[in-house]
């Protein structure tokens, strides 16, 4: 251990004898603080949290709820083991225990608001401070010329002496703190050119990493739970190396055959293995066991194999599958019987991860368990371990209630229900966070200087304007949305789903019109087609984006655009028609029968896949039927007049509604290539949601596990507009992306560009764009296998001619190191800024040597503006924003929006709504199916 010299003694004596000052944005204590006593009627969502500022990022769209909790005394309490049919949080742990520590003083009972310190802490956990890391050339050389003596105290004293007189007092406190922190390691960490050498690591620790690692050691050695915590240093500050420091430095003998479990997203497994090999000594990196899909151990006794290793790396999916889903038999009645059954079944069915008593559990990207109700979160919290760490640069996306899964996880013996958590910690949660939370940010300073200084970032917004054709179609989608929302005004739950779906469809359209193909098919009636043709015929439009879009849309749109449908039962009408044909044959002969089988409008025999049978017992080609006028000669209404008998048609049955029916004798025969079948309208009005078979909207959209990046393979059939015209059809945003990439490639032959998008179909369109321009590219999305993702990233890094990487925001925006790139484009805004910020933080982080340019593309007068405003308003729950003013902006109306007594909305448009008569048919056509959550990768 280094012996302090006279210089170092003077340095330390000048610093007041106090607890080493924390360098984090919030005060973090090295010893366990007294945890608060339970109190009455406090909510985690106190009034202070409702105060918003323009600078605050917005929360995400995860479903959450605030709760006021009735208080209880600080006495011992019973933790219930409530069981859900879907997932269970039950595990064979202690279920009765007292407070985590004794309170030092009694709190006055009564209703109070969440403390302002907690409010500020929560705000800091929901925003990124990375832009403050930009510095000048002097800052970049901050810790270079220092003492070569290897004496940490003298080296730090020399560094402090370089500072101004005003900066030296705080820097001396930092120096003393660093020396104390270095003593936490055995042997003591040594200083080398302002970095710290720790036994077990090949990589030097920076000052903030040393402090974080020392804090983690203190937490693990604490006599008071939790023996772990939340490591929430901002993205790019090297949390991985900090975590590896406490693993690598630890004596192996202390584990007692209990390894450290590291749980990571599947896309980050290769990166973690690489980091372990890069930073840890060989005796550490050789003791790693991988166990996940595609790399499971082949040994019969998996638990035994795990216990032999120092580190086990796995994925959230593996842990989830290891946790048994327990549903007690209905024959069990008493709580004792149910509890005994659960204990036996858990022991019998638990997977290997839930059978091992882990020495340490580390969750990377721990925000994947923030939804307390998802199966992954439940499974992770059921793991048993001595020390537990939740690691995330963006722990909170929506609000303070997301702290529950983290605290539930890290308290190694406590297994409290959510309601108990609310009661116990609703008042004084900030006190708990002082103990269990460590967060350094890019504005954190040590020894008078920022902990990290990066070469600079140019962050700008490029506003694009939709062309005339895009504006026209966007307005039609808004009008259709108004009609659908109004149609569901008396069913609040269904209307909320519809509003969310309309928002998503608008977002998709703004990204590129072809993403909303089904919706375009629904609005492309004869009136809209006529308006588009009128725009295209204007002088000078043909060669502009509007002209190209209209030409391509009409080319595919005319084949799928249809009139509003008349009601009708196809099998019933077809049977009546066939009986009528038999009657004609018997009465008038075969020729008359043949004439009756022809379409009255085109006098041709319809195809079996696309014909319509009417209540007046005529058969039409589907296209001819859509062209029939009503009594006023209009061709855009639901009413039609039969060409043959000149009577109003009351019902109509469509052949596409019964694809499984084989052609029957006397029905029209196949005579042309198969056309796209229309969807089956089985319901009317407000029953449309009931009648169409749908997946659970709540599970598929609102409560979707963000770690689930699977998606449905897009169809390549005739109805897939992207496959047919995606390479030729422009859009405002794609044009802007093309322009930026072209400009950057011309300016710098070494440039590397990452384009982040929200929708997988946008990825397909960008691939078509790159192929057309001759740019080589890499792709990482949820569709790409983890092995292929790793290969794509490696090629993008090493191959000079691969200039562009196209990435979905959720897959490429989390955990990856993309410092090989220096340009970044964000095409689509996301629900909250925390996730969005992760995009450019993949590039702008430790290791970046070039200035970074980050461009966000925003479409003027569109849903983009509402999304950005939503981010700034920092609302806890997305559904709270479904208010009258928000709907006016989303749907582009200036008239009144009335809230109905049941909570639904009625949108009053003075000009009337062009789709008021067609919204039911539009919904039945399946346009809401476009809101497939797996498409938002």
* Helix, strand, coil tally for the chain in percent (to 5): 40, 10, 45
Contact between residue 35 and residue 74 where contact means Cβ atoms under 8 Å apart = no
Residue 509 has pLDDT above 50, yes or no: yes
Residue 226 has pLDDT above 50, yes or no: yes
Contact between residue 69 and residue 321 where contact means Cβ atoms under 8 Å apart = no
| DSSP state string for 259-316 | -EEEEE-GGGHHHHHHHHHHHB-HHHHTTEEE-STT-----S-HHHHHHTSSEEEEEH
pLDDT at 1: 40
Residue 399 vs residues 50, 431, 432, 795, 840: alpha-carbon distances, Å:
10, 17, 16, 39, 23
The share of the chain scoring above pLDDT 90, in percent, equals 31
Contact between residue 370 and residue 396 where contact means Cβ atoms under 8 Å apart = yes
Q: 363 pairs with which residues across the strands?
A: 263, 390
pLDDT at 892: 66
Contact between residue 61 and residue 831 where contact means Cβ atoms under 8 Å apart = yes
Structure confidence at residue 559 as a pLDDT band (50, 70, 90): low
Total-model pTM: 0.61
Residue 347 has pLDDT above 50, yes or no: yes
Structure confidence at residue 887 as a pLDDT band (50, 70, 90): low
Q: Mean pLDDT across the stretch 549-572?
A: 79
Q: 359: which 2 tokens?
A: 């020495």
What's the CA gap between 544 and 591, in Å, rounded? 53
The angle formed by the CA atoms of residues 292, 296 and 297, to the nearest 5 degrees, is 140
pLDDT at 848: 86
Q: 502: which 2 tokens?
A: 């309309």
Residue 784 has pLDDT above 90, yes or no: no
370's CB contacts (< 8 A; 6+ apart) are 62, 377, 395, 396, 397, 398, 402, 405, 406
Which of residues 603 and 89 earns the better pLDDT score?
603
3-state secondary structure at position 201: strand
The share of the chain scoring above pLDDT 70, in percent, equals 66
pLDDT at 917: 54
pLDDT at 651: 92
For the stretch 151-208, pLDDT in tens is 888 889 999 999 999 999 999 999 999 999 999 888 888 988 889 999 999 999 999 9
DSSP strand pairing (96-97 vs 77-78): antiparallel
Instruction: Give just the sign of the alpha carbon dihedral 462, 466, 467, 468.
Output: negative
Structure confidence at residue 754 as a pLDDT band (50, 70, 90): very high
Residue 101 has pLDDT above 50, yes or no: no
Residue 74 has pLDDT above 60, yes or no: no
Q: Mean pLDDT across the stretch 715-743?
A: 84
Residue 3 has pLDDT above 80, yes or no: no
Helix (H) or strand (E) holding 919: helix 919-924
Structure confidence at residue 573 as a pLDDT band (50, 70, 90): very high
Residue 96 has pLDDT above 50, yes or no: no
Residue 95 has pLDDT above 70, yes or no: no
pLDDT at 22: 39
Q: 261: which 2 tokens?
A: 């479990």
| Least reliable range by pLDDT among 70-79, 114-123, 589-598 | 70-79
Residue 432 has pLDDT above 50, yes or no: yes
pLDDT at 109: 37
Structure confidence at residue 60 as a pLDDT band (50, 70, 90): very low
pLDDT at 103: 31
pLDDT at 777: 95
Residue 494 has pLDDT above 90, yes or no: no
Q: Which of 524, 519, 612, 533 is nearest to 573 (CA)?
A: 612
Q: How far does Cα 704 stand from its chain's mean position?
A: 9
| Least reliable range by pLDDT among 1-5, 438-442, 856-860 | 1-5
- Hunting for tokens 């709270």 — which residue is that? 880
Structure confidence at residue 123 as a pLDDT band (50, 70, 90): low
Q: Mean pLDDT across the stretch 739-764?
A: 94
pLDDT at 558: 63
Q: Mean pLDDT across the stretch 492-497?
A: 77
Which of residues 305 and 885 earns the better pLDDT score?
305
Exposed (0-12), middle (13-18) or buried (19+): which is 106, by Cβ within 10 Å?
exposed
Residue 695 has pLDDT above 80, yes or no: no
Helix (H) or strand (E) holding 10: helix 6-13
pLDDT at 661: 42
pLDDT at 421: 74
Average pLDDT, the chain: 74
Task: Read off the DSSP letter of residue 847.
Answer: T
pLDDT at 36: 42
For the stretch 138-155, pLDDT in tens is 444 444 444 555 688 888
Which of residues 445 and 659 earns the better pLDDT score?
445
3-state secondary structure at position 277: helix
> What domains sit in the chain, N to C, each tagged with a CATH number?
6-44+73-101+112-442 (3.40.50.10810), 570-677 (no CATH)
3-state secondary structure at position 357: strand
Question: Nearest 5°: phi and psi at 909?
Answer: -110, 120
């Amino acid at each position: 251990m280094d012996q302090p010299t006279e210089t170092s003694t003077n340095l330390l004596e000048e610093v007041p004898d106090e607890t080493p000052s924390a360098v984090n944005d919030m005060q973090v204590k090295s010893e366990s603080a007294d945890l608060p006593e339970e109190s009455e009627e406090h909510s985690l969502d106190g009034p202070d949290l409702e105060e918003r500022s323009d600078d605050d990022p917005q929360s995400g769209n995860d479903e959450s709820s605030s709760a006021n909790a009735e208080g209880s005394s600080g006495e011992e309490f019973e933790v219930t083991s409530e069981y859900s049919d879907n997932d269970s949080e039950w595990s064979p742990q202690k279920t009765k225990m007292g407070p985590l520590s004794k309170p030092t003083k009694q709190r006055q009972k009564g209703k109070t608001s969440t403390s302002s310190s907690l409010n500020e802490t929560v705000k800091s956990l929901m925003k990124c401070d990375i832009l403050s890391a930009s510095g000048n050339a002097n800052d970049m050389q901050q810790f270079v010329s220092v003492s070569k003596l290897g004496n940490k105290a003298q080296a730090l004293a020399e560094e402090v002496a370089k500072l101004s007189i005003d900066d030296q007092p705080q820097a001396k406190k930092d120096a003393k703190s660093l020396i104390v922190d270095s003593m936490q390691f055995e042997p003591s960490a040594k200083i080398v050119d302002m970095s710290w050498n720790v036994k077990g690591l090949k990589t030097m620790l920076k000052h903030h990493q040393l402090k974080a690692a020392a804090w983690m050691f203190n937490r693990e050695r604490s006599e008071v739970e939790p023996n772990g915590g939340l490591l929430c240093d901002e993205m790019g500050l090297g949390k991985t190396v900090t975590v590896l420091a406490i693993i690598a430095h630890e004596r192996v003998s202390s584990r007692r055959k209990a390894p450290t479990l590291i749980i990571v997203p599947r896309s980050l497994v290769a990166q973690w293995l690489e980091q372990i090999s890069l930073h840890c000594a060989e005796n550490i990196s050789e003791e790693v066991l991988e166990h996940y899909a595609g790399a499971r151990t082949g040994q019969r006794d998996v638990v035994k194999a795990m216990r032999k290793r120092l580190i086990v790396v796995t994925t959230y999916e593996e842990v989830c599958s290891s946790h048994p889903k327990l549903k007690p038999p209905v024959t069990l009645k008493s709580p004792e019987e149910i509890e005994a059954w659960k204990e036996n079944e858990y022991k019998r069915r638990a997977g290997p991860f839930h059978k091992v008593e882990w020495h340490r559990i580390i969750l990377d990207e721990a925000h994947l368990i923030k939804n307390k109700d998802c199966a992954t979160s439940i499974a992770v919290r059921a793991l048993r371990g001595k020390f537990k760490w939740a690691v995330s640069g963006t722990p909170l996306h929506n609000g303070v209630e997301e702290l529950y899964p983290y605290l539930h996880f890290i308290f190694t013996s406590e297994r409290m229900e959510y309601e108990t958590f609310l009661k116990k910690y609703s008042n004084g949660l900030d006190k708990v966070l002082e103990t269990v939370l460590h967060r350094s940010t890019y504005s954190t300073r040590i020894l008078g200087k920022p902990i990290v200084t990066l070469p600079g970032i140019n962050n700008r917004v490029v506003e694009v304007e939709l062309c005339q054709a895009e504006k026209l179609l966007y307005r039609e989608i808004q009008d259709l949305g108004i009609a659908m929302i109004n149609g569901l005004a008396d069913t609040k739950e269904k209307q909320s789903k519809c509003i969310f779906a309309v928002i998503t469809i608008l977002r998709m359209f703004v990204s590129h019109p072809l993403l909303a193909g089904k919706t375009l098919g629904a609005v492309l009636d004869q009136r809209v087609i006529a308006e588009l043709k009128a725009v295209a015929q204007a002088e000078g439009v043909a060669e502009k984006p509007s002209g190209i879009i209209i030409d391509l849309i009409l080319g595919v749109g005319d084949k799928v655009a249809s009139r509003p449908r008349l009601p009708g039962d196809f099998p019933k009408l077809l049977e009546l028609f066939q009986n009528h044909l038999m009657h004609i044959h018997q009465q008038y002969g075969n020729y008359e029968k043949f004439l009756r089988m022809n379409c009255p409008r085109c006098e041709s025999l319809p195809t079996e896949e696309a014909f319509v049978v009417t209540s007046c017992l005529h058969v039409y080609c589907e296209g001819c039927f859509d062209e029939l006028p009503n009594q006023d000669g209009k061709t855009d209404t639901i009413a039609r007049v039969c060409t043959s008998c000149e009577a109003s048609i009351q019902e109509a049955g469509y052949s596409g509604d019964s694809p499984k029916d084989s052609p029957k004798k006397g029905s029209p025969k196949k005579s042309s290539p198969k056309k796209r079948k229309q969807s089956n309208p089985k319901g009317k009005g407000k029953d449309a949601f009931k009648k169409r078979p749908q997946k659970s909207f709540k599970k598929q959209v609102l409560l979707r596990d963000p770690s689930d990046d699977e998606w449905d393979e897009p169809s390549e059939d005739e109805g897939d507009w992207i496959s047919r015209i995606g390479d030729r059809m422009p859009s405002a945003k794609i044009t802007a992306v093309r322009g930026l990439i072209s400009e950057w490639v011309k300016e710098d032959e070494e440039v590397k560009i990452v384009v982040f998008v929200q929708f997988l179909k946008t990825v397909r369109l960008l691939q078509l764009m790159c192929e057309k321009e001759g740019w080589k590219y890499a792709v990482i999305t949820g569709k790409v296998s983890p092995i292929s993702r790793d290969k794509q990233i490696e090629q993008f890094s090493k191959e000079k001619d691969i200039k562009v990487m196209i990435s979905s925001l959720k897959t490429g925006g989390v955990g990856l190191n993309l410092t090989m790139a220096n340009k970044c484009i964000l095409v689509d805004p996301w629900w909250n800024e925390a996730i969005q910020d992760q995009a450019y933080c993949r590039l702008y982080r430790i290791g970046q040597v070039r200035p970074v340019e980050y461009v966000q593309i925003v479409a003027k007068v569109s849903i983009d503006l509402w999304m950005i405003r939503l981010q700034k308003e920092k609302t806890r729950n997305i559904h709270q924003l479904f208010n009258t003013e928000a709907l006016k902006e989303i749907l582009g109306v200036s008239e009144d929006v009335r809230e109905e007594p049941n909570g639904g909305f009625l949108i009053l448009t003075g000009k009337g709504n062009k789709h008021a008569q067609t919204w039911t048919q539009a919904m039945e056509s399946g346009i809401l199916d476009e809101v497939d959550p797996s498409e938002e990768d």
